[in-house]
Chains A and B, each alone.
Chain A
Amino acid sequence: MTDTATSRSGPKRFAAPEPLKAALFAGGLGFFLWSLAGAGVSISELISGLPNMGVIASEMVPPATDRFLPMLWSVLTTFQMALVGTVIGVVISVPLAVLAARNLAPHPLIHAAVRGIVSFLRTVPDLAWALFFVASVGLGPFAGTLTIIVDTVGFCARFFAENMEEADPGPGEAIATLGGRRIDIVVCCIFPAALPAMINTSLFALEKAVRSSVVLGLVGAGGIGAELAVSMEMFRYDQAATIVLMIFVLVLGVERFSSWSRGRLIGRA
């Protein structure tokens, strides 16, 4: 690490740290210690909270079965929101990605503008979108689906664009040479080259959507999250346990499906 320094000025193992670096380090450490207080980290509260956690955990077993069917429907709705939102989001992402890809955008300004919009969609957190959609289209799964769409576009348009930028330019040049249009190049050269990576990205988007659709219900955007919030508020921890188990099975199932498809995809690519 300090090879060049030692070879020039001899061995100086305990070189005095530069004052600027030392000040930065001290400042960083101070900020972190202050943040511990700001984040409310408190060992004593953790210790005094332990018995509560124990009580809640013991009330969770055995998980309740009284609202099993309605909960199952809620989980299904959650998955449907995630699925529909992801599919629509992926469909919207494809043309956006073409405009956002450096090698395909009709104009650098369009490329920059679309990139900017997509970044905005991605950086605003999904719960903020959910609150916005609940306020505009009302409570229920549609608000959640819209949230998933926006989330998926923010994620997929960016990565699709990168997948497309990685495509070999040679075949596209050949198509341009024989008089093809930009759309011909996109469909005939870029899509086939980027397709495996795009499917992979879409599967990740689905996993992400299932996980985030679970919590959207907490702000009224439909799905199992609402059931979870109600159970917790009513101190029905046994019901909450059932819901958590259902969510676990759903997320695990989607992840399994996703990695199975990915394996088949790689096997054939």
Chain B
Amino acid sequence: MTAVARLATFEGNGQDGPPASSLSPTPALQVRRLSKSFTAGGQPVFHDVTFDVPQGQSVALIGANGAGKSTLLRCCLRLVEPDSGDIAFHGTDFVAARRQALRRMRARVGFVFQKHNLVPRLSVLTNVMHGALARGVGPRSWFQAIAPGAEREKAMACLEQVGLADLADRRADRLSGGQSQRVAIARSLMQDPELMFADEPVASLDPAAGEGIMELFARLNHDRGLTLVFVSHQLDHALRYADRVLGLREGGLALDAASAGRTPGCLRGLYD
């Protein structure tokens, strides 16, 4: 059923389809009573956090430095193991997954870091190919030179979506910050993600490049129905590019509101 939903949302390239949420009543992401503390019995980073993200929604996660935004995203992918609580992607429980099942679940979720984390000495195209590593062709997506033709075409299509098809052969360490982040997004698109997380994706970019990246996310969200959860310190970005804003404070969700009609001033209270 998720495969069908994926086809419906991702195959209609560029066409304005119906909002994805009407196709799938199951939320893309369900988080239930999630808790995490790094010190046994100490102050939790967050406690009993519960929220759903419907498919196709764009969510901004905001909060002061150290509020636990990164930890929350990382717990959702179990890069950091949560202490308790449940996580489900499209209704599939993620907390019980072990080894191979865990990797397959992770493969369904894109993650864009503040630092692009590309492999500097490899080509842009090879970096994008790596998005397919957990999806079946295995070792053949190690390097673009040994990849099956269909996968290369797919990688080129992903690069086209981020507007960098002409840089496919360039080495990743010869890119600007904004271009690198675009390639990282293309790598995530290569995963056929059902959901995309982005942890401060524009924090190390200049304003114009940052704006470009946020526009790209918004387009993927609108045109393709890609569910998006992004962390940002720029409140205008949070309001402009998200349907909904979640605010973390003192270990809990202090804010969960639609972004429409709000001003940055409404959100400032979260930082006091």
Instruction: Give chain A's interface residues, CB within 8 Å of chain B.
Output: 168, 170-171, 173-181, 184, 187-189, 192-193, 195
Contact = CB atoms under 8 A, between A and B. Distances in A.
A178 B107 contact: yes
B188 interface: yes
Contact of A178 (B106, B121, B142, B143): B106
B119 A193 contact: yes
A173 B117 contact: yes
B225 interface: no
Contact of A177 (B79, B118, B122): B79
Q: Report which residue of A171, A187, A189, A193 has the largest number of chain B beta carbons within 10 angstroms of its beta carbon.
A: A171
B111 A178 contact: yes
A178 B77 CA distance: 9
B222 to A, nearest CB: 24
10 tightest CB-CB pairs across the interface, nearest first? A179-B134, A179-B107, A174-B117, A179-B106, A179-B103, A170-B117, A192-B121, A180-B133, A177-B111, A171-B119
B229 to A, nearest CB: 14
A178 B134 CA distance: 7
B130 interface: yes
Interface in B97-125: 102-107, 110-111, 113, 115, 117-122
A184 B121 contact: no
A181 B102 CA distance: 11
B110 A178 contact: yes
Nearest to A177: B111
Contacts of B121: 192-193, 195
A177 B77 contact: yes
B119 A188 contact: yes
Interface residues of B, number: 30
Nearest to B107: A179
Contacts, number: 73
B244 interface: no
B224 interface: no
B133 A170 contact: no
Interface of B: 77, 79, 102-107, 110-111, 113, 115, 117-122, 130-131, 133-135, 139, 142-143, 184, 187-188, 191
Contact of B122 (A174, A179, A192): A192
A178 B187 contact: yes
Contacts of B111: 174, 177-178
Given A171-B117, A179-B102, 16 more contacts: A171-B119, A173-B79, A173-B117, A174-B113, A176-B79, A177-B106, A178-B110, A178-B111, A178-B133, A178-B134, A178-B188, A179-B107, A180-B130, A180-B133, A187-B139, A188-B119
Contacts of B143: 188
Given A173-B117, A193-B121, A184 B187 contact: no
A179 B139 CA distance: 13
Contacts of B122: 188, 192
